[in-house]
Each structure stands twice: as structure tokens, then as C-alpha cells.
Amino acid sequence: MIARQQQEMLELSTPVVQLWDGIVALPLIGTLDSARTQIVMESLLQKIVETGAGIAVIDITGVPMVDTLVAQHLLKTVAAARLMGAECIISGIRPQIAQTIVHLGVDLNDVITKATLADAFSIALQRLGLTVAHRT
């Protein structure tokens, strides 16, 4: 019973949403552990295949704490998405988390990081050669 609930919770906790044609987003909420990251990674990659997305935005606004393990998991997800031919943008990094990441010595140089999901989305649109304009 509890195992089944856990399984359901895992599935519920990792929706992959399509933001635009070619852009998917993964809003992560809550603490990431190994089991959860595994499912997150699988569902993201599956969605990339389904939608043919070229860009994936991983939003970690709702992740309360990032330690080396979580950072490692994130980097793995980014690497796996890259292998599939999709580019990853990590967004929603709070100042506190940015400090922690630097103190931990985690190397995020190869990954595009943005402070907010809005910034990530605008970069994603730019990459796809799209612009958002006011109606005149």
C-alpha cells in the first residue's frame, strides 16, 4: 500500500510540460533523491522523443536544497538530454543555491543557467529563432 502510494507520488511529482513547439519544461518541486531523479530523467527523455523538442528547461525554483548529489543528478540529466540531441537550460536558481553550488565546487560551466524561468524561456525562443513582439 505504502509502496504503491510512493510510486504514485513519484509519478505525480514529475510532470514534463510542453511550453512551445520544440520547448519542454520540467518544473522540479521538492527534494530530489536518486529514485526521483531517475524517474525525472526518464520522463524528460521520453517527452523529448515524443515532442521532438530541441530545448529542455529544467526549473529548480521549487527545490529547497541543492547538495553535491542533487547537482550531480542534474548534470547527468543535462548530459543525457544532450546525448539525445536536446539542449538543456537550468532555471530558477535562487541566490542561496548559487552560493551553495559555487562553495561545493560543482562545475556548471557547460550548462546554460538562468535565474528565472522567464529568462530561460526567452533564451529558448531565441535559440529557435523566434521572437515575441507586441501587437501593433
Partner 1 sequence: MESIPILKMGKSLLVSIQVDMHDRLAMRLQDDLTARIAQTRARGVLIDISALEVVDSFIGRMLANIAAMARILDARTVVVGMRPAVAITLVELGLSLPGVRTALNVEKGMELIADMQAGGENGRHQT
- Contact between 79 and partner 1 per CB under 8 A: yes
Beta carbons of 47 and 53 less than 8 angstroms apart: yes
- Contact between 109 and partner 1 per CB under 8 A: no
- Contact between 89 and partner 1 per CB under 8 A: no
Other Cβ atoms closer than 10 A to 24: 24
- Contact between 46 and partner 1 per CB under 8 A: yes
State how far the Cα of 98 lies from the Cα of 103, in Å rounded to an integer: 9
Judged by CB, which is closer to partner 1: 82, or 94? Answer: 82
- Contact between 127 and partner 1 per CB under 8 A: no
Under rule CB under 8 A, how many of the chain's residues touch partner 1?
18
- The DSSP output letter for 115 is S
- The DSSP output letter for 116 is S
Q: Which residues pair with 18 in a beta bridge?
A: 24
Judged by the rule CB under 8 A, the positions of this chain that interact with partner 1 are: 41-42, 45-46, 48-49, 52-54, 76, 79-86
